[in-house]
């Protein structure tokens, strides 16, 4: 199991959000955002990605969910790394279920590379989730979605948000992923904000509304 931070650890939590950070960050990255959300009925698990060499950054070792070779639409992707991490996230979901939280009260969330893992894992998961939060991100291995998607999460609401001034993962890259997901039959809610590769106050307010909708107290 990955090292992680837990916010709202109390036993009476009735739902769980597993929230994955971006490349080179760690679980602490979204701790302040979770505190701002102020949702005491939800247990937030903020895992730390393992350290690995990242090709895009000249092989420098950093926390990463999988290797990244480039950020262009035609850049090769680390399929083996993505699938390996999918197994780990599935195990985290199973761990929450074993503690009495049904999969239908679990949301997978992530920012940037963490959001890519959330989208990839949720669309292939064999148990229905409450929702997916995909922030400033994209769907990896898009071409395999139709052959690998599982019907258990075809109706799961996906909340996707992006900054119009994002130069790390461009708006066009995110929009291409949005169109692939919609074409595959997913219920997707799209939000754009006047920001770069980051989060903003309005987005946090909107995330809170989404979480209250899919994980009511």
Q: Has residue 10 got a pLDDT over 80?
A: no
pLDDT tens digits, residue range 44-93?
Answer: 999 999 999 999 999 999 999 999 998 887 889 999 999 999 999 999 99
Residue 78 has φ and ψ, to the nearest 5°, of -85, 75
Question: What percentage of residues in the chain have a pLDDT greater than 90?
Answer: 90
- Residue 66's closest CA among 45, 80, 76, 47? 80
pLDDT score at 202? 95
pLDDT score at 143? 92
Q: Which of 26, 29, 78, 166 is catalytic?
A: 166
Q: What is the mean pLDDT of residues 177-183?
A: 96
User: 129 near 97, Cβ under 8 Å?
Assistant: no
Q: Is 166 a catalytic residue?
A: yes
For 20, the domain range is 4-214
Q: What is the mean pLDDT of residues 36-51?
A: 96
Q: Count of domains in the chain?
A: 1
Q: What is the mean pLDDT of residues 162-181?
A: 95
Q: Has residue 1 got a pLDDT over 90?
A: no
Q: What is the mean pLDDT of residues 175-183?
A: 96
| CA pair distance 107, 209, nearest whole angstrom | 14
Q: What is the mean pLDDT of residues 35-42?
A: 94
Instruction: Give the CATH number, domain containing residue 207.
Output: 3.40.50.1820
pTM over 0.85: yes
Q: What is the mean pLDDT of residues 14-39?
A: 96
| CA pair distance 41, 15, nearest whole angstrom | 7
Q: Which of 26, 29, 177, 197 is catalytic?
A: 197
pLDDT tens digits, residue range 109-133?
Answer: 999 999 999 999 999 999 999 999 9
pLDDT score at 70? 87
pLDDT score at 74? 83
pLDDT score at 113? 97
Burial 181-207 (b: 16+ CB within 10 A, else e): beeeebebeeeebebebbbeeebeebb
Q: Which of 103, 112, 136, 177 is catalytic?
A: 112
Q: Is 112 a catalytic residue?
A: yes
Q: What is the mean pLDDT of residues 206-215?
A: 97
């Amino acid at each position: 199991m990955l090292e992680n931070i837990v916010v709202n650890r109390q036993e009476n939590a009735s739902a769980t959000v597993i929230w994955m950070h971006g490349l080179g960050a760690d679980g602490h990255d979204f701790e302040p955002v979770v505190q701002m959300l102020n949702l005491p009925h939800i247990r937030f698990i903020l895992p730390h990605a393992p350290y690995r060499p990242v090709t895009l950054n000249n092989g420098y070792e950093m926390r990463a969910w999988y290797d990244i070779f480039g950020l262009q639409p035609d850049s090769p992707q680390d399929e083996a790394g993505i699938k390996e991490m999918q197994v780990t996230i599935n195990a985290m979901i199973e761990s929450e279920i074993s503690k009495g939280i049904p999969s239908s009260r679990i949301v997978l969330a992530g920012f940037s590379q963490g959001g890519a893992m959330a989208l990839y894992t949720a669309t292939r998961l064999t148990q229905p989730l409450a929702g997916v939060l995909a922030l400033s991100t994209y769907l990896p291995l898009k071409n395999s979605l139709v052959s690998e998607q599982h019907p258990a999460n075809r109706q799961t609401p996906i909340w996707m948000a992006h900054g119009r001034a994002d130069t790390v993962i461009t708006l066009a890259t995110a929009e291409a992923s949005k169109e692939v997901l919609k074409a595959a039959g997913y219920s997707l809610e799209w939000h754009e904000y006047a920001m770069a590769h980051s989060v903003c106050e309005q987005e946090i307010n909107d995330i809170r509304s989404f979480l209250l909708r899919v994980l009511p107290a």
